[in-house]
Structure 1
Amino acid sequence: MTDLTPPTRPADPAPPAADGYGVTPDGFVVKGIDQIIADQQARARAMFGSDVDLTSGSALRKVLDAATVHVHELWRSLENQYYANFITTAQGDALTLLGGELGQERRHLRATGEVTLTVHETGPDRTVVLPQGTVIRTAAAPTPDHPVVKLRTTATATLGTTTPTATVGVQAVERGPGGNLPLEADLILEPQWARVHLDLGPATVTITNQAPVSGGDFLEADDAHRTRLLGVPRTVWTQDAILAQLLDVPGVRDAAIFDPLGGIDASQATFNSYLFGQHEFTAGRRTGSPYFFDIVVAVEPGWPWFQDEGDIPAVHPAVVDVVRQWRPVSVFPDIRPANHVDVGIRATLVVQPGHDPDAIRGEILGAVHTGVERLRLGRGVLHSDLVLTARSVAGVVDVQNLRLRRGAPVFGEVGFGGAVYGNAEELSVGENLTLTADEIARFDLDSPLIDLQVASP
């Protein structure tokens, strides 16, 4: 006989607790110790009668108080387990497990340390400048047990007859414990990189590390790992999806995508001259026809663009490999390096008596360097930010006549319009330094564009 009984409707999810604790629409609410004590005393009265002795000296009260601590810890554990299910709130091992589910393991850090650079046979009145990002490697031939370790300097070193030595920070090119080095390792300049980027002439440079280069054993912090997980693309082909992959390529400081059909294509001749209702800005793509878009990549100092510029992983082929995996059929990228614009400042600092002017100057330049390095493609340098940075340093009374300076940008084969080549300029007081979409700011601590004078009040 056929059962004509209608199917049972699935039960609705359990509603939040009536007392407002536990899982609620606003998250997980932990029950406080005072509420736990009140609930336990109410149950004790219901079980033993309303006249049960619950004063502070009674044995039952002491047992209930001792259990309260354990119950509260249980509530806190439940809270941690609840928030461990979400990337935005998970921590530690829970965040690592969530990253594993997305195919994003927690990365190792790059080993860091310091090296001492010494120049020999420079000749009279000649200096050797080793820029930030200078590549250093171990001199011994690689073996399966001891591969070559490559490092990059994190600051510029100027060496000459009067100052033949300088100590700079270094960072391993590769992540992980393979970038660690023992004390006094045998180090040299990476020959291929030095041949392309340096002009040493008869001079030679020796390199020593007075302390180990370490830190590659550690894993990245929760904040850095969480940021990468939140940027994992959920779709195959969008600007955000491919941009998230590009920013994870070693050596890439920033990247931007100019898509004529999916966004603004600044390389079009009609850009910024569109007349609504009179003509189409960009024609639609026909099915099966090739479709091109532009990718502009800003490279960190020292990373080669092509493989023949240094014996470390080049950025351009790595970006090409990433895009090849993510682009649809018949979609082709035009990958170009960004234009790096040197930024300088000129100002007069009014300093209180008793403060070291050189220390104040160094602290200000370090803060400006950190702020500029955080800027992305097309983001200009604000005059007000530099004034606030300088005034926040202890001992600075006032900042007068602060002017931004713009160096001639390094031509990166990108011409979206607006870039200025071949000259430098000094802006007016209060004027911001604006950049075009293909430019990125760079601030060198030893730049000749820096002129900070110190005066007393």
Structure 2
Amino acid sequence: MTSEERFGVTDDGFVVKGIDRIIADQQSRARAMFGDDVDLTSGSALRKVMDAAAVDTHELWRALESQYYAGFVTTAQGPSLDLLGKDLGLPRRELRAHGTIGLTLSGSEPDRGYVLPEGTVVETVPDGPAPAEPPPALAFRTTRAVTLSAATATASVEAEAVVRGPDGNIPTKSKLRLQPAWVRHNLNLGAAEVTPFVQTDFEGGDLGEPDGVYRARLLGVPRTVWTQEALLAQVLDVNGVRDAAIFDPLGGVEATRRAYGTFRYGGRAFSRPRQTGSPYFFDIVVASEPSWPWTSEKDAVPGVYDQVLKTVKQWRPVSVFPNVLAANQVDIGMRATLVVEAGHNEQAAKGAILDAVRGSVNRLRLGSGVLYSDIVLSARTAAGVVDVQNLRLRRFAPAFGQTYYRGATYGGAQELSAGENLVLAPDEIAQFSVDSSMVDIQVVAR
């Protein structure tokens, strides 16, 4: 039997027997049983019964194929993927509920703009008389920056729940307010007040993450208890963490696995394995999502630092201590001239380009530089854009830097030459804002 005639489980996977081959095999068996003169034309009763049975047999083959591939993380789907994740101890995460909220400004000063940055925190408040034991407030974060003024006193913005799950699916009648602790630390409204309200029902919190995202998480699950990869997987799963990296001066969280102690000079060991009980320190550099608080305040969104520290404490061996540090966020800007076709809305083209660049830059990980070619490609994807000329990338010095690992730049802004890539240090992460003062884009029509 040749390799083309093999069906079922093979070296190349599961091979389904086609319906044409099933029908041919049935006709062969019918001739062997009833003779070569048996009527197998399309109008015969035997042929109709055999064709119906062939369809059922083919469906059985397809079910066997599905069952075979359901046993592998790379090919399983839906409930089968959930079962594999349960075996690995990593269930499918629920999504964050999302919806639209409105913002209304009152008591504003003339000729002043009030900027509510991306990540502005709003929370639910009980409607009616305050109960003796009010339910816990549900927090939501805006996904865009909004500017309000006396001339533009209302605006709409997308928001998503801080905590995953169906609790974030709030209706339009829900009452909201700006989170007092967050406002106290991040805004200066003066006598003005901003009142949020729900414009559309929040939804999506009862859904699970897509198969592709869940599969990627399962494929990255470490099979060891205490390694850099295992610890990093736990840190990346914390709410508010955009990216993280582990820096260990000895090259590994568990120093005893390295080559220390194997070199001998004059009959003495170069170093000895770490004794149980002796302290060992390493650094975890964490990049948080925009405007997510670093430390927890009373009645505020849980801080990234506290959540990461709590997670690591549950995993670390005895006398191993983490030093959780905030990554250096580098604001990225650009200067360029865009050539658009005549008839296209120049401002719409500029907005589309800024959104595309924002998505491209904000997906970068710690230490990943901003490539000139990626920015050009993102700009060229906007409708009506013909050319991108004199593009120069800009960077602003990282603010509130807490770490320094070979190459972080401090002291001022910098504009690169045309065609030059922006290189970041291992503890730096790029951040692009569409309303940044470092963005200077001129649009001309062809």
- 1:287 corresponds, among 262, 275, 300, to 275
* Other-structure match for 1:176: 165
**1:261, 1:284 within 8 Å by CA — same for their partners in 2?**
no
1:69 shift after superposition: 1.0
- 1:82 corresponds, among 60, 68, 71, to 68
Change (3 A) 1:143 1:254: farther
CA distance in 2, matches of 1:389, 1:234: 38
Uncovered stretches (5+) of structure 1, i.e. residues with no partner:
1-15, 265-281
* Other-structure match for 1:224: 213
CA distance in 1, matches of 2:408, 2:112: 33
- 1:372 corresponds, among 361, 368, 379, to 361
**1:336, 1:412 within 8 Å by CA — same for their partners in 2?**
no
Aligned counterparts, 1:245-260, within 5 A: 245-260=234-249
Paired AA for residue 69 in structure 1 = V
CA-to-partner distance for each residue in 1:116-167, whole Å, 9 max, x for gaps?
Answer: 1122223133221111111100122578784311100000111122322221
CA-to-partner distance for each residue in 1:26-56, whole Å, 9 max, x for gaps?
Answer: 1111111111111111111111122222222
- 2:136 corresponds, among 130, 147, 165, to 147
- 2:414 corresponds, among 404, 425, 433, to 425
1:285 shift after superposition: 4.9
* Other-structure match for 1:409: 398
Q: TM-score scaled by structure 1?
A: 0.89
- 2:155 corresponds, among 166, 169, 174, to 166
Work out whether 1:383 is the aligned partner of 2:372.
Answer: yes
CA-to-partner distance for each residue in 1:318-372, whole Å, 9 max, x for gaps?
Answer: 1112111222222211110101111111111111111111111111111111111
Work out whether 1:262 is the aligned partner of 2:248.
Answer: no
**1:142, 1:148 within 8 Å by CA — same for their partners in 2?**
no
* Other-structure match for 2:51: 65
* Other-structure match for 2:336: 347
Paired AA for residue 209 in structure 2 = E
Change (3 A) 1:18 1:395: closer
Work out whether 1:233 is the aligned partner of 2:219.
Answer: no
Change (3 A) 1:286 1:176: closer
State the identity %: 60
* Higher alpha-carbon deviation: 292-301 or 223-232: 223-232
The structure 1 segments of at least 4 consecutive aligned residues displaced by more than 4 Å after TM superposition are 141-146, 282-285
SS at match of 2:322: strand
1:410 shift after superposition: 1.8
SS at match of 1:308: coil
Q: TM-score scaled by structure 2?
A: 0.91
CA-to-partner distance for each residue in 1:247-273, whole Å, 9 max, x for gaps?
Answer: 001110000001222359xxxxxxxxx
Paired AA for residue 68 in structure 1 = A
**2:232, 2:246 within 8 Å by CA — same for their partners in 1?**
yes
* Other-structure match for 2:260: none
Paired AA for residue 275 in structure 2 = T
* Other-structure match for 1:129: 115
* Other-structure match for 1:296: 285
CA-to-partner distance for each residue in 1:261-299, whole Å, 9 max, x for gaps?
Answer: 2359xxxxxxxxxxxxxxxxx966532432211100000
**2:95, 2:205 within 8 Å by CA — same for their partners in 1?**
yes
Change (3 A) 1:366 1:138: same
CA distance in 2, matches of 1:249, 1:25: 40
* Other-structure match for 2:266: none
CA distance in 2, matches of 1:143, 1:442: 44
SS at match of 2:297: helix
Say how many residue pairs are matched: 426
